[in-house]
Amino acid sequence: MQMAWLLYLVAILFLTIPVAGAVGLTIDATPREPQIGDTVLLSGTVSGLKTIAVYLFVTGPGLDPRGVTLDNLNIPTGRGLFTTAPVNMENGNWSYAWDTSVILGTLMPGNYTVHVVSSPVERLRFSEGESASVPVTFLPEPLDPAGAPLDPVLPLAACGIAG
């Protein structure tokens, strides 16, 4: 009986010790509440894994539920189709400037989630620790006092026509 308790105690001890070399990923977004057309800086770290890149995709309203690439919202992720960000091999840091003014597809105001994974597999196939996510809320376009969306090109075009 005492031997069984000893084995039980040893098993619990080994299960609570973190596994050396376990993969860990982090992600952050700046700003977290941009307007459509802004650049969102995505950055994070990789630990416990030597890799040259991480794989990014986004989920949200009107997008394929498996996730889509950041530069073309019409392409579902998986089968090697991801947006990639290079990893600094010395410190494990990575970053990606997501310019939402030059993407293909329709990005609507709303709540989105940007995911980072350590290998190019579909969203439902990655393990815990090998992925991370961050919420990003895209705000509607600002309105001028008359209630119309502000368009910076229109006043410039009017000046060009008047000149």
Residues 6+ apart with CB under 8 A from 5: none
The pTM for the full model equals 0.73
Q: For position 49, what pLDDT does the model report?
A: 85
Pair 27, 12: CB distance under 8 Å = no
**pLDDT of 78-99, one tens digit each?**
777 889 999 999 999 999 999 9
**pLDDT higher than 80, residue 111:** yes
110: left (phi over 0), alpha (psi -120 to 50) or beta: left
**pLDDT of 4-21, one tens digit each?**
544 443 343 333 334 445
Residue percentage of the chain with pLDDT more than 90: 54
CB atoms under 10 Å from CB of 11, counted, come to: 10
Residues 6+ apart with CB under 8 A from 135: 29, 32, 111, 112, 113
Residue 114 CB burial class (10 angstroms; 0-12, 13-18, ≥19): buried
Q: For position 46, what pLDDT does the model report?
A: 94
**pLDDT higher than 60, residue 3:** no
Q: For position 151, what pLDDT does the model report?
A: 57
Model confidence at 122, pLDDT cuts 50, 70, 90, reads low
H or E segment and range at residue 40: strand 39-47
For residue 44 the two structure tokens come to: 């994070």
Name residue 57's beta-bridge partners.
115
Residue percentage of the chain with pLDDT more than 70: 69
CA distances from 131 to 31, 68, 100, 148, 154 (A): 21, 16, 23, 41, 43
